[in-house]
Structure 1
Amino acid sequence: MANPDILNNTTLRIYFQGKEETFELQTYEDDKKLQVSAQQMPIGESVISFIYDDFEDVYEELRRTETVFLEINAGLQVHAHWDQLRKLALELINRHPFFGFASQILSQAAGQTIAIDMRLLSRLVPLYKQMRGNLMLLVKDCMNAEDQKASTYVDRYADLVLTHRLGDRSPLKYSMVVTEFLPTVQFPLWKKEGCDYPVIPTLQELRAQEVPLEMVDALYPRSLQDLYHFLISGYLKQGVCFKVCKNCGRYFAVNGSMNAEYCDRKIEGSQKTCRQMGAVRVYQQKQMKDPILRLYNRAYKTHNARIRYGRITREEFLEWSARARALRDKCLEGKISTDDFETWLKE
């Protein structure tokens, strides 16, 4: 059995469950709903990654479809072009979950029997860019945890709307929201034979297996504005907030302690994250503040350098460092004085 056509009845579904947000691209075959793609992430992460990632290559692909649709309408290389668009539909959702809406638009175009609007996808580019600008403004001026204003996030959002700073005077409305049953725990999906896409179980199938359920509001966006409004409404209701990372200087969603100061992004050119580097920095600052640790670190570097100059052997250095650590710990515990520890280090 071949995989169902990715451009056949493809829809995007978005929902919040606990402190996570999920974006699913679904399609249908016979009476089964299939999951083409699913991306689950901590709430707020989709907005942050959309703000900071570079999507100019994606926008160029969306603009390029004008020529593709023009040739399809003219009957030129129709099969080759639709194969190209199928590939694009999968690439879009994998690049970022927000582009799942563009994949859905492609599906709608594939089902048309009349000439396709050439600018169907390229028209989304300025909308995505406006959405990115609005999201950055909301993160900085509305849901900024470090802003000491007495007003609530909801009040701040209302002020942004009333002053027209968002360029969007409409309320947070969206069209297709459905209250659905979902498993309260991660539920393994099963695959049909010969099909790469797993099957999403029906309510009857979940109940037959006595799977614990909860009810969530799921959005099936009919416009990019639907997606944007649903996310912001959900964030405001749950009090999602953002802070500036003290290492990379970029915003991150606070999904744990409000005392968090570093994000979990990997530092460019390193396998360490900002959070890991922050822990190292805190440790180093603590060492610099403690006179006992400063004495030990200075002496350690001095003795380590003597190995390179051949003044002591590595074995002698290891023996010294073991003794130095023992005395350092005794000094930190107050069992010997700082002066006695310093005198020993200088011997």
Structure 2
Amino acid sequence: MENPDILRNTSLRVYFQGKEETFELQTYANDKKMQVFMRQMPLGESVISFIYGDFEDIYEELRRTETIFLEINAGLQVHAHWEQLRQLSLTLMERHPYFGIASQVLSQAAGQAIAIDMRLLSRLVALYKQMRDSLLLLVKECMNVDEQKAGSFVDRYADLLLTHRLGDRSALKYSTVVTEFLPTVAFPLWKTENCVYPVIPTLQELRAQEVPLEMVDALYPHSLQDLYHFLLAGYLKAGVCFKVCKNCGRYFAVTGSMNAEYCDRKIDGSQKTCRQMGAVRVYQQKQMKDPILRLYNRAYKTHNARIRYGRMTREEFLEWSARARALRDKCLEGKISVSDFEIWLKE
């Protein structure tokens, strides 16, 4: 099987399975369905990564397609331009799964026998930005678990609609939703000779191998609005919620404990995440509140400084610190008094 031309037969598939959301870019050749791209994310993560992502370079690429389509329609550098668009189609999905809609639109354009609308892709830029603003509003005022408002998330969404604060006030409808069978366990896709894309097994092939199955509703969107509506409805039904990270101040999806206060983003200029830094801060705050730990930390810093000033050797410091930790732990356990511990530290 040769590599299919993804520009002529590409479709996006989106579905929720368990606590994950999956985005697939598929193509077809020789009666086989193949996976061009796939990304699984925890519920809520696609919205957050889209809200805070910087996609201006992608938007500029979408705008530039006006000139490319103009030259294709004029018969100029047709082959080179389509090759450029093929690479763009893959780049879009890799940057963020929501851009799979643009890849699908590009595929539809490639199959047209008539002149291509120059603004076929560039007009999506405004729609993506509007979608981003709407999602941010929903995260802040509808699915924000810290927001002390009466009613469920569904009630809050209804109130947003009734107060006309959302640009899109239409019903949550979408084009093509198919109830499909999916493996309940990770199932490896198989590749064929001379084709880089793995083949997605049919239901018959799955049953022949007795793979356990479940049924999910999968969306095959026709527009960006389809995708937006499907995600929003799925989040509201699943009760996906968001919080503001106490370190970076940005929203994050709560996928585990509702007591989570920090996100898993890496801090700018650091390899640590907000969650890791939060644990350090909690530890430091605990130390500052506990008089025993406060006494120990102060004495530790004092004795450590003596090494730099030549008033204590490192060996002497290590011996002192081991003894100090042992007495600190005894004090925390109530085996010695705080005053006795403090007197020893000052000796």
TM > 0.5 fold call: yes
Q: Deviations over 1:29-87 (max 9, x none)?
A: 11110001000010000000000011111100000000000000000000000000000
Report the Cα offset of residue 2 of structure 1.
Answer: 4.3
Q: How far apart are the structure 1 equivalents of 2:32 and 2:90?
A: 20
Please state whether the residue corresponding to 1:271 is helix, strand or coil. Answer: coil
> 1:134-173 residue pairs with structure 2 within 5 A?
134-173=134-173
Please state whether the residue corresponding to 1:267 is helix, strand or coil. Answer: coil
- Alignment length (residue pairs): 347
Q: Deviations over 1:306-341 (max 9, x none)?
A: 111111111111111000000000110111111111
Contact 1:8–1:28, Cα closer than 8 Å, also in 2: no
Aligned to 1:113: 113
Please state whether the residue corresponding to 1:196 is helix, strand or coil. Answer: coil
Q: In the alignment, does 2:313 pair up with 1:320?
A: no
Q: How far apart are the structure 1 equivalents of 2:92 and 2:168?
A: 26
Contact 1:245–1:263, Cα closer than 8 Å, also in 2: yes
Report the Cα offset of residue 163 of structure 1.
Answer: 1.5
Q: Deviations over 1:201-239 (max 9, x none)?
A: 000000000000000000000010000000000000011
Q: How far apart are the structure 2 equivalents of 1:209 and 1:3?
A: 26
> 1:80-91 residue pairs with structure 2 within 5 A?
80-91=80-91
Contact 1:296–1:328, Cα closer than 8 Å, also in 2: yes
Q: How far apart are the structure 2 equivalents of 1:141 and 1:220?
A: 29
Aligned to 1:341: 341
Aligned to 2:38: 38
Aligned to 2:307: 307
Q: In the alignment, does 2:192 pair up with 1:183?
A: no
Q: How far apart are the structure 1 equivalents of 2:142 and 2:150?
A: 12
Aligned to 2:295: 295
Q: Aligned residues: percent identity?
A: 85
Aligned to 1:100: 100
Q: How far apart are the structure 2 equivalents of 1:306 and 1:8?
A: 74
Q: How far apart are the structure 2 equivalents of 1:45 and 1:197?
A: 26
Please state whether the residue corresponding to 1:191 is helix, strand or coil. Answer: coil
Please state whether the residue corresponding to 2:86 is helix, strand or coil. Answer: helix
Q: How far apart are the structure 1 equivalents of 2:78 and 2:17?
A: 41
Q: How far apart are the structure 2 equivalents of 1:62 and 1:151?
A: 41
Aligned to 2:214: 214
Aligned to 1:272: 272
Q: How far apart are the structure 2 equivalents of 1:98 and 1:47?
A: 9
Please state whether the residue corresponding to 2:148 is helix, strand or coil. Answer: coil
Please state whether the residue corresponding to 2:310 is helix, strand or coil. Answer: coil
Q: With structure 2 as the length reference, what TM-score do the two structures score?
A: 0.99
Amino acid of the structure 2 residue aligned with 1:63: R
Please state whether the residue corresponding to 1:198 is helix, strand or coil. Answer: coil
Q: CA RMSD in A?
A: 0.7
Aligned to 1:66: 66
Q: How far apart are the structure 2 equivalents of 1:224 and 1:80?
A: 28
Amino acid of the structure 2 residue aligned with 1:31: D
Amino acid of the structure 2 residue aligned with 1:70: L
Dislocated runs of 4+, deviation >6 Å: none
Q: How far apart are the structure 2 equivalents of 1:314 and 1:247?
A: 36
Aligned to 2:25: 25
Amino acid of the structure 2 residue aligned with 1:199: V
Aligned to 1:47: 47
Report the Cα offset of residue 284 of structure 1.
Answer: 0.5
Report the Cα offset of residue 158 of structure 1.
Answer: 0.8
Please state whether the residue corresponding to 1:199 is helix, strand or coil. Answer: coil
Aligned to 2:194: 194
> 1:204-283 residue pairs with structure 2 within 5 A?
204-283=204-283
Aligned to 1:203: 203
Amino acid of the structure 2 residue aligned with 1:198: P
Please state whether the residue corresponding to 1:205 is helix, strand or coil. Answer: helix
